Amino acid sequence: FIILYSVYVSLFEYVFTSSGDLGAEIPTVRYLGMFCTIYFWIDLGLCFTTAIYDTEDDLVTNRKTIAITYLKGWFWIDLLSNLEVNGALALLKILRLARFPRMFIRWMNLGVSTMALNIFKIMIITLTSGHFFACL
């Protein structure tokens, strides 16, 4: 939910506020934005040490291998989406939506029900596409 919040707020700020900073006008949004920023920077750091599955579905716990794999893949997307920039570059936060497939795979590995994940996916797709078409 934090991903959707941060993406939607950054889009809303870019389109509907003249300063591009809704947090300057609404303190609650500012505090939630600070929380999101801290959360995503901590997550970026934790991804260097979080165990991953290799191509043979074996759990990899070697930190050097994990870090190299992360740097070769998702690190750059996560880094760009975490940068605090204004204007059109603030739309880089949309890259956070790319985290959803990774989250679903992690949840499946943790034993979350496939049906619950499919319902969640349908809700996200419906909300995002409805929001997108409403903006057009």
List, run by run, the mean pLDDT of 10-residue segments along the chain (136 residues): 78 71 73 88 90 85 92 89 76 78 79 85 84 76
pLDDT at 22: 66
Give 123-134 pLDDT, tens digit per residue: 888 887 887 788
pLDDT at 67: 93
Give 51-60 pLDDT, tens digit per residue: 888 888 888 9
Q: What are the residues facing 59 on neighbouring strands?
A: 53
CA distance 44 to 126: 28
Nearest to 97 by CA among 14, 29, 11, 23: 11
pLDDT at 23: 62
- Encode burial over 4-31: b for 16+ CB neighbours within 10 A, e otherwise: eebbebbbebbeeeeebebbeeeeebee
pLDDT at 20: 60
pTM above 0.95, yes or no: no
- Which residues are CB-neighbours of 131 under 8 A, at least 6 positions away? 8
